[in-house]
Amino acid sequence: MEHSKHIIRAVLLLVVIAVVFVLVTHFLIPETYGMHGSYRFANVQEFASLPASHGAPGACAECHEEEADALAGGKHASVSCEVCHAPLAEHLGIPAAPASPAGGEAAGATPAGEGEPAGDPGSGDVAGEDTPLMPINRSANLCGWCHEYLVSRPKTFPQVVLGAHVVEQGEELGKNGEIRDGLCWECHAEDVHDTD
């Protein structure tokens, strides 16, 4: 028995560690965690109770038919309007909607009041004059999310090494290699809703 004391101590230590682990996890893991997968199920209801900020795919087309038709036949037909513009709730002036990464103070975004008019009251735009102007994210980062060269993208997909492309066009890069906001738009604004 004298030679087995170290084994008894090790087993007791493992039992204590297991009990502490079970107690700690019981108090630290939320009650609804794991009910329907490896996430906290109560989180679903919390997010569902937040005000909606993004519109359905056809929501913009209800007021902006011409732009929607141009986009539908263009190179960016599969890109939601809200990728470049702010969420629909921000455009409609719904105050409870969360802030948009594409609008407001985001880098490259045109602040409200300086963007393109949201609609023309005489064109059937329901929102009319009281609708906030729609911010447009004109940063090179936004364009780069899809068009920066990646080996994994299909060869037919339009992509460039942004920094090299800018220099080839005779423009200068910033001190840290950054590209001036709006630069892509100066040459490629027509490509956004272009059908060619």
Dihedral over Cα of 135, 140, 141, 145: its sign: positive
- Rounded CA-CA distance 143/153 in Å is 15
86-144: pLDDT as tens digits: 888 888 777 644 444 444 443 344 344 344 433 333 333 344 455 667 777 888 888 88
Does any domain span residue 54?
no
What's the number of domains the chain is made of? 2
What is the extent of the structural domain holding 74? 60-191
Does any domain span residue 21?
yes
Q: Coil, helix or strand for 24?
A: helix
Residues 186, 90 within the same domain: yes
Q: Quote the DSSP letter at residue 148.
A: B
Q: Is residue 175 classed exposed, middle or buried when 0-12, 13-18 and 19+ CB atoms within 10 A define those classes?
A: exposed
Residues 38, 74 within the same domain: no
49-97: pLDDT as tens digits: 888 788 887 888 888 888 888 888 888 888 888 888 888 888 877 764 4
Residues 74, 133 within the same domain: yes
Name the domain boundary from 48, 68, 84.
48
Does any domain span residue 149?
yes
Structural contact between residues 78 and 117, judged by C-beta atoms closer than 8 angstroms:
no
Residues 44, 120 within the same domain: no
Residues 40, 89 within the same domain: no
Instruction: Give the global pTM.
Output: 0.54
